[in-house]
Structure 1
Amino acid sequence: MINRTIYFILIFLFLITGCKQKNKGNNTPKDDFEAIKEKKELTVLTLYSSTSYFLYKGEEMGYEYELIKQFAKSQGLDVKIVVAENISKLIEMLKDGKGDIIAYNIPVTGDTKNELLHCGRELITHQVLVQPTGQGIKPLRNVTELVGKDIYVEKDSKYEERINNLNDELGGGINIHLMDRDTLVTEDLIEMVAMRQIPYTLADNNIARLNKTYYNNIDINLEVSFPQRSSWVVRPDSKSLANAVNQWAKENIKSAEYRSILKRYFQLSKNPPAPAVLSLKNGQISVYDHLFKKYAEQIDWDWRLIASQAFKESRFDTSAISWAGARGLMQIMPRTARNYGLQTDQMNNPEKSVATAVKILKSLDKTFSNIQPKEERIKFMLAAYNAGLGHVLDAIALAKKYGKDPDKWENNVAEYILLKSNPEYFNDEVCKSGYFRGRETINYVHDVLENYQSYKSKIPYDIQQHKKQTKS
């Protein structure tokens, strides 16, 4: 009887042990990267900025964004972007499992090395002095020359900390001016240097390099800080993902695609070259005037206004391709072209380009139909054509929130287009499209309308001739 009891106890223990071993095998966590491959999607955490991720004319762009997309493509993965408000939130979200990787340059410090796993291409950044060039100006070449100079930086920023430390190291003498971060950010100050409104500011070298593609009259060669290492990060238990990113980065740095991305963001000028002086003899603006006249009546516009827009977009060059990939006479983005039925092989066709641009403008006219008079509505349409509808709607929402007139452009909605480069505003709950470099849109609306007035003063609007040409 005892032997029989012992026998059943042994059988029971054997079964329990076997079940435990079986369950243990089933609960072994999968390799993190294999799990990502199974779901075929990489969840990427990032921040809005001019170098990481932003929306331009409705399309996702950004240096870091394009690189992480390139990595994902190499692994057969789709990319899902999740944007955080700041670096602290970014790291918190990664630790909480709300993303697989941070595609934003996180500084390599003692704390981050203990808590996170750095991976991918390592970026070495340092702060530089942004100073004007040209017109007989001799750039500073040594930090000791900063004594007696006026340096403008954002208040409560790392740039304020650095210029204060540098001032102490030099024994004082630098005239430090602190700017309110609620209204101005680094890129605003860089523009102010380019416009000769302030003499000097500080910026990270990658931000300075990108902005030099907008302003070729600035010098960014004087380093004013020690180098700082930074890279993408994953969780410490995501070693397989980190290894895959490291291997890809090592191979990718030599690829033509990587060089193309680098060139697009940090080398190609964002401003088209100055055109030759156009002859307005015999009332002709361009060889495409007949197209502007043909399609202008579809939106009840003066054809000279569309001509002015085409001049601003492409300088009447049908083969023009912008740094962002916009193409043709009216510089239409690829995804927008597809949405309006314009095929890739038709984007350089002048008539197809103008016809599609008018379709876009017609849609925008309907969106802003409540804005009166028509002349005011045109400003919103031009802004949305240039920036993308989402950014203009964000600026309208901000104008409403802060007590400005949402139906007026100058000094109202335009003011908030400018402020959308400031985290205080693009992270606001009323904003849906994030960061935007608004200065280009402000200039776009102004330049198109100013040029239009010039055309109007030099070329009479012959209604009878217009009707005759559009009928033919």
Structure 2
Amino acid sequence: MSRFFNHLGAVPAHFVFLLGATLALTGCSRPSTVQEIQNEGVLHVITRVAPSMYFEGREGATGYDYELAKRFADEIGVELKVRVADDNTEILSVLERNFAHIGMAGVSLQPDFADNYEAIPTGIKAQSVVVYHRDMEHPESLEALAGQTLHLVADSDHEHLLKASAAAGDISWEVHPGLDAPGVLARVESGEFPYAVVSSNELELNHVFYPHVNEAFGLGEPRELVWLFPKKQDGTLAQAAGEFLQRLQDNGVLAQLSERFYGHLDRLNYVGARTFMHHLENRLPKYEKLFRDYAREFNMDWRLLAAIGYQESHWRPNAVSPTGVRGLMMLTRNTASYVGINNRLDAEESIQGGAKYFQMVHDKIPERIPEPDRTWFALASYNVGFGHLEDARRLTESAGKDPDRWMDVKEFLPLLAQKEYYTKTRYGFARGQEPVIYVQNIRRYYDVLARVITPAPPAKPEEPQIVGIEPEAGPADSRSTTPEEPATSALRASLPKELGLIPPTL
């Protein structure tokens, strides 16, 4: 049976069983009018776990469609309850029986939907695109794939397009009900599936994690993704949702959410390195002393703390994420409370809180894990949560690899985004690719800082250390009253030589 969630957490299992039994025995459906929904006080939505729609983030439930649904529930004055389906097949089945008010399946309006659903566009356009493993010959069209098999997820936009295309006459396709888009892309990446079809928005969100997957061509034109409403409703809810989403379109909220959830990951490529150099010279000097002081207090290398701060906010004390994480170290409200921070937008409090929290996270990593791996694990845990990290380590061990070695575990963290794996874990879905890139980026930032900044004297033997990266020498409670020398003096001379880059003119 599907798992049920609302924005506060999972509904108890016994309630899910009783509710499922009641629906099966009575065949009762949901209230159908806006007024009836408001009288009941609950908006029931069914969706599936996907980065494009719904997932549990650092601060609870999030996702483009979830954020819209939450705003809509607030608009009509009711509580939002989200039922998580296994796949689109279940979503459509539940809607046909009118057991949910809205279905969020990440699909566009299809010809056979008209009899059962009313569709409202959500502001995101997507196209079915053919992808292939980069070692295969680049196909220019469906005709070039004659004799090949395309692999698809179930009940997506893709199959009806293939059926409608005369050029697909010599092409076969295989539908995989047990896989989601990341699962299909992972198999293209490995070479198991030479060719596949995925939605362009799913490819955009996941492509960076599958470098051996190339995009070939699109099937048809981009189409707007929709929410689905059961035809058994009277239409007032669909009308209210359409008017609400149109207002968000007009006032720019849809564009803002699209940018937030479909933005590019920050990688230290050529452009990223130039940006980092600029911020190192213009932003870091404002906060360098704070990084030094609080890193010393918590016995860690200040350059590592600064690298975490850059990855989190680009050293911006007023940074705010879509889910409410904020400040230079991007602390959640719960984390700030846990470490005793009152004002997350105060740079000093944020850096102090980030250093203290990282020490706590680091202390949870088993001491048997040697450095620097213990710190890489701590960074991953700082980003995705200790529970999800432990899930990945269990998957690593189950596969016969070393759960205490970062190079092994980082191969399994991305599997937490694939249904066939996260359903077997304790803590469920996670965007497991992100902590891998998070750690990689911080290591790169640290490497640059270590090259351009003279290292501090080694710590005294009795002082504990984090990683093989030296903490600043001196007692933890000492605060230098003299200005620190800027950390950028060697930047222009060393960074281009080290990274092969030309620094910008500042």
Q: What TM-score do the two structures reach when normalised by structure 1?
A: 0.70
Corresponding residue of 1:136: none
Question: 2: distance between equivalents of 1:213 and 1:323?
Answer: 21
Aligned with residue 233 of structure 1, among 228, 237, 240: 228
Corresponding residue of 1:66: 67
Question: 2: distance between equivalents of 1:203 and 1:402?
Answer: 28
Are residues 1:466 and 2:446 paired? Answer: no
Corresponding residue of 2:464: none
Select the structure with the greater relative contact order (CA < 8 A; seq sep ≥ 6): 1
Corresponding residue of 1:313: 312
Amino acid at match of 2:272: A
Cα deviation, residue 48, structure 1: 0.7
Identity of aligned residues (%): 23
Report 1:336-347 matches (<5 A).
Answer: 336-337=335-336, 340=339, 342-343=341-342, 346-347=343-344
Cα deviation, residue 41, structure 1: 2.6
Corresponding residue of 2:395: 398
Are residues 1:332 and 2:331 paired? Answer: yes
Cα deviation, residue 373, structure 1: 3.2
Are residues 1:169 and 2:167 paired? Answer: yes
Question: 1: distance between equivalents of 2:372 and 2:383?
Answer: 17
Question: 2: distance between equivalents of 1:181 and 1:92?
Answer: 18
| CA pair 262-72 structure 1, distance change in 2 beyond 3 A | same
Question: 1: distance between equivalents of 2:43 and 2:415?
Answer: 32
Are residues 1:449 and 2:443 paired? Answer: yes
| CA pair 187-286 structure 1, distance change in 2 beyond 3 A | farther
Corresponding residue of 1:376: 373
Amino acid at match of 2:439: V
Amino acid at match of 2:421: Y
Q: Deviations over 1:243-264 (max 9, x none)?
A: 3323323443322322321232
Question: 2: distance between equivalents of 1:36 and 1:81?
Answer: 15
Question: 2: distance between equivalents of 1:74 and 1:182?
Answer: 31
Are residues 1:50 and 2:51 paired? Answer: yes
Asked if structure 1 preserves the Cα contact closer than 8 Å seen for 2:102 and 2:229, the reply is yes
Q: Deviations over 1:340-386 (max 9, x none)?
A: 5545xx43432111112123223323443465335433222200222
Asked if structure 2 preserves the Cα contact closer than 8 Å seen for 1:189 and 1:201, the reply is no
Amino acid at match of 2:227: W
Report 1:88-237 matches (<5 A).
Answer: 88-94=89-95, 99-106=100-107, 108-109=109-110, 112-114=113-115, 116-121=116-121, 125-128=126-129, 143=141, 147=144, 154=151, 169=167, 185-186=183-184, 188=186, 202-210=197-205, 222-225=217-220, 231-237=226-232
Q: Secondary structure at the match of 2:82?
A: strand
Amino acid at match of 2:419: P
Corresponding residue of 2:272: 274
Cα deviation, residue 187, structure 1: 5.1
| CA pair 191-37 structure 1, distance change in 2 beyond 3 A | farther
| CA pair 188-290 structure 1, distance change in 2 beyond 3 A | farther
Corresponding residue of 1:83: 84
Asked if structure 1 preserves the Cα contact closer than 8 Å seen for 2:31 and 2:37, the reply is no
Cα deviation, residue 62, structure 1: 0.9
Structure whose CA Rg is larger: 1
Comparing 230-239 and 257-266, the one that deviates more: 230-239
Asked if structure 1 preserves the Cα contact closer than 8 Å seen for 2:384 and 2:435, the reply is yes
| CA pair 205-462 structure 1, distance change in 2 beyond 3 A | same
Q: Deviations over 1:360-418 (max 9, x none)?
A: 2233234434653354332222002222344323323433554544443321x322211
Q: Secondary structure at the match of 2:473?
A: helix
More helix as a share of residues: 1
| CA pair 207-172 structure 1, distance change in 2 beyond 3 A | same
Q: Secondary structure at the match of 1:420?
A: helix
RMSD: 4.8
Amino acid at match of 1:253: Q
| CA pair 44-160 structure 1, distance change in 2 beyond 3 A | closer
Are residues 1:426 and 2:422 paired? Answer: yes
Corresponding residue of 2:432: 438
Aligned length, in residue pairs: 420
Question: 1: distance between equivalents of 2:97 and 2:363?
Answer: 43
| CA pair 156-104 structure 1, distance change in 2 beyond 3 A | closer
Q: Secondary structure at the match of 2:250?
A: coil
| CA pair 119-57 structure 1, distance change in 2 beyond 3 A | same
Question: 1: distance between equivalents of 2:478 and 2:100?
Answer: 58
Asked if structure 1 preserves the Cα contact closer than 8 Å seen for 2:132 and 2:194, the reply is yes
Question: 2: distance between equivalents of 1:98 and 1:166?
Answer: 31
Cα deviation, residue 228, structure 1: 6.2
| CA pair 155-213 structure 1, distance change in 2 beyond 3 A | closer
Comparing 331-340 and 65-74, the one that deviates more: 331-340
Asked if structure 2 preserves the Cα contact closer than 8 Å seen for 1:46 and 1:90, the reply is yes
Asked if structure 2 preserves the Cα contact closer than 8 Å seen for 1:47 and 1:83, the reply is yes
Q: Deviations over 1:151-185 (max 9, x none)?
A: 996577779969988998289799xxx9x969963
| CA pair 243-156 structure 1, distance change in 2 beyond 3 A | closer
Asked if structure 2 preserves the Cα contact closer than 8 Å seen for 1:45 and 1:81, the reply is yes
Corresponding residue of 2:294: 295
Comparing 245-254 and 380-389, the one that deviates more: 245-254
Q: Secondary structure at the match of 2:455?
A: coil
Q: Deviations over 1:38-84 (max 9, x none)?
A: 34332321111121011232432211111111211111122222211
| CA pair 167-258 structure 1, distance change in 2 beyond 3 A | closer
Cα deviation, residue 467, structure 1: 1.0
| CA pair 373-454 structure 1, distance change in 2 beyond 3 A | same
Q: Secondary structure at the match of 1:424?
A: helix
Question: 2: distance between equivalents of 1:45 and 1:461?
Answer: 55
Asked if structure 2 preserves the Cα contact closer than 8 Å seen for 1:383 and 1:444, the reply is yes
Question: 2: distance between equivalents of 1:405 and 1:348?
Answer: 40
Question: 1: distance between equivalents of 2:89 and 2:298?
Answer: 48
Corresponding residue of 2:14: none
Q: What TM-score do the two structures reach when normalised by structure 2?
A: 0.66
Question: 2: distance between equivalents of 1:300 and 1:339?
Answer: 20
Q: Secondary structure at the match of 2:412?
A: helix
Asked if structure 1 preserves the Cα contact closer than 8 Å seen for 2:295 and 2:305, the reply is yes
Question: 1: distance between equivalents of 2:232 and 2:159?
Answer: 35
Q: Secondary structure at the match of 2:439?
A: helix
Corresponding residue of 1:3: none
Q: Structure 1 unaligned segments of length 5 or more: list them.
A: 1-28, 133-138
Are residues 1:356 and 2:357 paired? Answer: no
Question: 2: distance between equivalents of 1:172 and 1:119?
Answer: 33
